[in-house]
Structure 1
Amino acid sequence: MLQTYLAYGQWANRIVMNRLSDLPDALLDAPQPVVFGSIRRTYHHMLVIAQVWQAHLLGRAHGHTSRDPGHPPPMARIGAELAALDAWFLDYGAELDADARAQMVPFTFIGGGDGAMTREAILMHVVNHATYHRGHIVAMLNGAGISMANSDMPVFLTAPA
């Protein structure tokens, strides 16, 4: 199920990026009443947090000091980097046996404080976190009168191969 979940996250992120790729910067950067303030900044946050969790899994520093690290790069760069991370998480998850999935990974939260989660829980969180913020993005798009393809998991699970 972990691999299915990771594949779903990759698929859903690709749907969102495909929709965002042709939208004007004015719409992507328009102030919105959400925690990260715009579509682009929300999408950038998704990337940053995926980078943070990848670093935790690899046991190395991630270099981020904020969950909202300032002015985001162009959408194409965010999308390409997130797509590469999605592929990495899918491959990483496939290589983990049951013992490795259950291994605890200690980490420090960006805002301070220590934590620990299993490798499997981290991978599940990466997908769940992106799903949460894709919902914000869809709501912002809907508010602008823009629709996009359904990225719900049941659609992924029942789509023809």
Structure 2
Amino acid sequence: MALTRHIRMLTRYTAWANTRLFDALLALPEGQATAVRATGFRNMVNTLNHAYVVDQIWQAHLQGQPHGFTARITETEPALPALRDAQAAIDRWYIGYADGLSDTAHEEVLQFRFVDGGAGAMARGDMLLHVVNHKTYHRGYVADMLYQAGARPPVMDLPVFLRDAQPSL
């Protein structure tokens, strides 16, 4: 039960942190979230778009379906409000998926193909942990870009989530 309890908590944490970050970006002056910055994904929106695309890829792996992506980013950048809504929807999907996961299913290894075509195999629980960790990593990039824009990123630490959100699992 501890395995599934932790991944359930982490999917809720991810949704909470994503909401806080998107709210901060939406509060920026016009153009700041899409201004070119010294980062790997050009700007804040594109960085979060990459995280969203990766969420869709792993969602497809978990469902045993093809994802249809040939890259880990889209050619065009979505509008920030649309990306926020899409991210919130997939965050809800991941919470629901984690909530329905048994300990046995958590450990089940699935075969899949990486975007580059290489073969992969991971346990469902490890896939979920990667999804959570991946977004944490990229939220850090966006937090740095917020500082570059003269803004302060929101607090997105796990202990603050546990204190403030009081998730029930």
TM-score where L is the length of structure 2 = 0.91
Secondary structure (helix, strand or coil) at the match of 1:116 reads strand
The correspondence of residues 112-151 of structure 1 with structure 2, limited to 5 A, is 112-151=117-156
Is 1:97 the counterpart of 2:83 in the alignment? Answer: no
- Give the letter aligned to residue 46 of structure 1: A
| Percentage of identical aligned residues | 37
- Alpha-carbon offset, residue 105 of structure 1: 1.3
Distance 1:21 1:115, change over 3 A: same
The residue type equivalent to 1:122 in the other structure is M
Cα distance in structure 2, aligned partners of 1:54 and 1:160: 25
How much does 1:26 deviate?
2.1
* Aligned partner letter, 2:95: L
Question: Which amino acid in structure 1 is aligned with residue 41 of structure 2?
Answer: F
Task: Please give the alpha-carbon distance, in whole angstroms, between the structure 2 residues aligned to 1:4 and 1:107.
Answer: 26
Is 1:14 the counterpart of 2:14? The answer is no
1:26 counterpart SS class: coil
1:80 aligned residue: 85
Q: Write the deviation string for residues 7-47 of structure 1: whole angstroms up to 9, x where unpaired.
A: 10110011011111233452122112211111111011011
Hey, what does 2:73 align to over in structure 1? 68
Q: 1:35-82, CA deviations, whole angstroms, 9 ceiling, x for partnerless residues?
A: 111111101101100000000100111111111222211111111111
Gaps of 5+ in 1: none
Take 2:22 and 2:101, find their aligned partners in 1: how far apart are those partners?
Answer: 28
- SS for the counterpart of 2:32 is helix
Unaligned runs of 5+ in 2: 1-5
Q: 1:154 to 1:113 in 2, by over 3 A?
A: same
Q: Distance in 1 between matches of 2:96 and 2:165?
A: 22
Residue matched to 2:111: 106
Given candidates 26, 38, 41, the residue that maps to 2:43 is: 38
The alignment partner of 1:107 has SS state of: strand
**Structure 1 pair 160/102, CA: closer, same or farther in 2 (3 Å)?**
closer
TM score, norm. by length of structure 1? 0.95
Tell me, in whole angstroms, the C-alpha distance in 1 between the residues paired with 2:147 and 2:110. 38
SS in structure 1 of the partner of residue 31 of structure 2: helix
Count of matched residue pairs = 161
Distance in 2 (CA, whole Å) between partners of 1:27 and 1:160 is 29
